[in-house]
Structure 1
Amino acid sequence: MQERIVIVGGGAGGLELATMLGRKLGRKKKAKVTLIDRNSTHLWKPLLHEVASGALDSRLAELDYRGQSAREGFQFLVGTLESVNKEEKSIQLAAIKDEQNHEVLAPRSIKYDRLILAIGSVTADFGTPGVADHCYFLDSLRQADEFHEHLLNEFLRVNQSIEDGQKTKLSLAIVGGGATGVELAAELIHSVSLLSIYGLSYLDQKHFEVRLVEAGKRLLPALPERLSKSVEKKLKSLGVEVILNNPVTEVKENTLVLSEGENIESNLMVWAAGVRAPDIVKEWGLKVRKNNQIEVNEYLQSVSDQSIYAIGDCAGCRIDDERWVPPRAQSAHQMADCLYQNIVREYRGKPAKLFQYKDRGSLVSLSRFSAVGNLMQSKSLSMSLEGTLARWAYASLYRMHQRALHGWWKMLLLLMVDKLNHVVKPRLKLH
């Protein structure tokens, strides 16, 4: 009987793992590999800030799960994980309903021999009052599209107000000075600089203000302090107001309440201040950390059940007694690769290898203006990058994800298609 390998979550780690296992085991009927995700298409999560700002049309970058499964030898099921039954080795998927609340698919139970959880993360609000009611999040394509729609409406409203002679500005606040917050701030500045090309000639950078609020002492704590200062300087030169060491204590309608200083009034507010695994994880009877991450051992198995694994942002994996593997795309990729190798080794009768996280450094894009980062060569040696070279390195991260999913030749074809789209498509998505 074929082993039933069920992967829940089609993000960077989950989809890459399903693809590799499908090619190696699924096509040869050695195992039944099933990928489950609540959505029908995949978009690389680090691109969501570009979708939100209009710099990227998500339809040009989405990958269809069913098409990928048909090509690569795994099965795809659409569904939302509701519960895990460790004793019966089964998971329960919630019912799927349409926009009129009509049931499309009834609740389903899926049996597994090996369950791999790759459900990603959501933004952490740290219990701050009002965040859920008044702020936008960028955890999913749906949320990015929702923000983009409201951003376009604000573009139109403010542009018309200025044309009518009113003295007004479009104000936007971003909470969180990590990669998402910094990259979104730069992309928004770039988007506004393009508006005049598409008929919105009154709303320019003089009438647009972006405030980036960070509770810590500096932006981008994952980067060396020199690069962090360089990013702060560049953002300020673009017109972004950077507010450091000033946590948000409450969010009201169109207002951020800060622990020190004046409150910030804003037309749109985005919360990008931290990550945690979804709250529902706590209901599955697995040992979790305070941020809901599933604690795993050195083989990425849950410490509560050796038939259950976790990879990516939802996995709590120790580096040493004090440090944990950070929730980054590179972590998900490394975990997926390690788990794939170990499953294949098990089929060949070989022992599994320990997962060892290797920090490859961090790269941050400042839209078309610049990029910065550091590439880790070893624990004691790293190389700092800025400008064009850093932008190339940043772009290569997405291409490596595409290579993992499609192989080298298809990745190169997709690169050519993207270049053509850049020529024939508008530079800003305004619909």
Structure 2
Amino acid sequence: MGNPVPNQKTQIVVVGGGAGGLELVRKLGARYGRKQHDIILIDRNLTHIWKPLLHEVAAGSLDANLDEVGYGGHAVRWGYRFFNGSIESVDRVSRTITTTPMLDERGEEIIGRHEIRYDYLVMAVGGISNDFGVPGVREHAMFLEDRPQADRFRQKLLNACLRTNHAHQTGDPLARVRVSIVGGGATGVELAAELYNAAKALRHYGLEVFDESKLEVSLIEAGPRILPALDEVLAATAKRELEKLGVRVLDNTQVVRLEDRAVHTGDGGAIDADLIVWAAGVKGAEELKTMSDLELTRGNQIVVRPTLQSTSDDRIYALGDCASCLLPGRDKPIPPRAQSAHQMASLVFTNLVRAQAGEPLKNFVYQDHGSLVSLSRFSTVGSLMGNLVGGRMRVEGWIARMVYMSLYRMHLIAIHGWWRGVALIVIGHVNQIVRPKLKLH
């Protein structure tokens, strides 16, 4: 595989500061420090927020300013460098990547194109929502892929609630906030429930006549049922809980076109909506098709071997939602979940250490720990230890809620280490008591 230039630091570049990428650079920084290695994290954002929490940020139930991680400070603590930018291209011959120019809000250049060499490159750029070619999705729907999108949805939601509150005060008793969520996976289901949790609290924040009865949420799923990752019993339980809240659950409903304030379905019907959220599947970013000659799937994911090395280049790894890993004996690639990214980050760290030591690399072994879906404070459902008991260990209620909350705590420990992670968990409990229940700005 070749060796670095003598007296030159080994440079490991990680593109993408999501759950997997951030955990990886922490481990690399803790292992190597800055003496013989230059570990660089590249991300277009300045801060990290755990993606499974974005539905709470969107509904206003979580203040991301208190829970996000600043890459700059994290880098100083753990011995790596942070570069704010987006990747434009990869040159596998010269082992360099080029980042796009960084522009301010006026379109003026702050930093020009930047070339960064690498000895090892890890792609952890995550994924984007798959619009499946449905007309109007990019023009009329909102997404929950990062914090700016979640913030944008929260502001639009608040504006709609304010308009409806004012309409009721001025004599329009039929005014409603209509939200259509396309996609009955975990993101869509959790957002639907969280919206009702937020609506219940709004009257205490200046919207005197607004409550959950003024909210109309439609959850639209093309498949035969919501939450296909769970068994039918748990999916049916979740559907009943959503319908008790007031959610209109439409399964076996194909979306064929979006227009401003309207979702058109395959049966010729149309669902009126003030806000449309698209949460129907994941694919790789479109930029992956042009930035390099790496082998990609039809969904723009980087094809990797069981070692998580790209099939095109031994020195390029990929993990998380942007990677497509089909393990021997499986008929489907590893699913795009937070637990997958965590497990992949651990193996990439191990294999980077072994590669530099000239040792054989290990293959990825996916451990399915089950799936949990939070219906806000109303309920939690899921299955645990999928590989151990065939995914049939069902959990509901407070037990499931406790396990669900523990996932975020494990994430904090993974990116901060034990001592700081535990301290942040304690601070989080205090914040739940002293800070406002909703973020409205």
TM range (shorter): over 0.9
SS in structure 1 of the partner of residue 125 of structure 2: coil
Aligned residue in 2 for 1:386: 396
Amino acid aligned to 1:143: Q
Could you tell me which runs of 5 or more consecutive residues in structure 2 were left unpaired when the two chains were aligned.
1-7
Take 2:197 and 2:330, find their aligned partners in 1: how far apart are those partners?
A: 43
Take 1:381 and 1:100, find their aligned partners in 2: how far apart are those partners?
A: 54
Take 1:85 and 1:94, find their aligned partners in 2: how far apart are those partners?
A: 14
Is residue 226 from structure 1 mapped to residue 233 from structure 2 by the alignment?
yes
Is residue 373 from structure 1 mapped to residue 382 from structure 2 by the alignment?
yes
Shift of 1:380: 4.5
Q: Which is worse superposed, 350-359 or 241-250?
A: 350-359
Take 1:116 and 1:291, find their aligned partners in 2: how far apart are those partners?
A: 19
C-alpha distance after superposition, 1:248-283 (max 9, x if no partner): 000011000000252100111101011101011111
Shift of 1:345: 2.7
The TM-score normalised by the length of structure 2 is: 0.95
Shift of 1:379: 5.3
SS in structure 1 of the partner of residue 208 of structure 2: coil
Take 1:40 and 1:168, find their aligned partners in 2: how far apart are those partners?
A: 39
Aligned residue in 1 for 2:118: 112
Aligned residues: 430
Shift of 1:378: 2.7
Amino acid aligned to 1:198: Y
Is residue 430 from structure 1 mapped to residue 430 from structure 2 by the alignment?
no
Aligned residue in 2 for 1:92: 98
Take 1:385 and 1:50, find their aligned partners in 2: how far apart are those partners?
A: 22
Amino acid aligned to 2:185: G
Aligned residue in 2 for 1:248: 255
Amino acid aligned to 2:342: H
Is residue 339 from structure 1 mapped to residue 345 from structure 2 by the alignment?
no
Amino acid aligned to 1:9: G
Aligned residue in 2 for 1:406: 416
Take 1:164 and 1:378, find their aligned partners in 2: how far apart are those partners?
A: 57
Aligned residue in 2 for 1:317: 325
Aligned residue in 2 for 1:264: 271
Shift of 1:112: 0.6
Q: Which is worse superposed, 337-346 or 185-194?
A: 337-346
SS in structure 1 of the partner of residue 315 of structure 2: strand
Which runs of structure 2 are paired with 1:278-289 in the superposition (5 Å)? 278-283=285-290, 284-289=292-297
Amino acid aligned to 1:59: N
Take 2:355 and 2:282, find their aligned partners in 1: how far apart are those partners?
A: 33
Aligned residue in 2 for 1:202: 209
* Counterpart selection for 2:219 from 212, 216, 225: 212
Q: CA RMSD in A?
A: 1.2
SS in structure 1 of the partner of residue 25 of structure 2: helix
Which runs of structure 2 are paired with 1:45-194 in the superposition (5 Å)? 45-166=51-172, 167-194=174-201
SS in structure 1 of the partner of residue 209 of structure 2: coil
Take 1:349 and 1:276, find their aligned partners in 2: how far apart are those partners?
A: 34
Q: For residues 299 and 395 of structure 1, do their structure 2 counterparts lie closer, same or farther at Cα, with a shift above 3 Å needed?
A: same
| Identity %, equivalent residues | 47
Take 1:239 and 1:342, find their aligned partners in 2: how far apart are those partners?
A: 49
Amino acid aligned to 2:248: E
Is residue 25 from structure 1 mapped to residue 17 from structure 2 by the alignment?
no
SS in structure 2 of the partner of residue 395 of structure 1: helix
Take 2:41 and 2:212, find their aligned partners in 1: how far apart are those partners?
A: 45
SS in structure 2 of the partner of residue 127 of structure 1: coil
Shift of 1:26: 2.4
Take 1:39 and 1:378, find their aligned partners in 2: how far apart are those partners?
A: 35
The TM-score normalised by the length of structure 1 is: 0.98
Take 1:261 and 1:238, find their aligned partners in 2: how far apart are those partners?
A: 27
Take 1:381 and 1:178, find their aligned partners in 2: how far apart are those partners?
A: 20
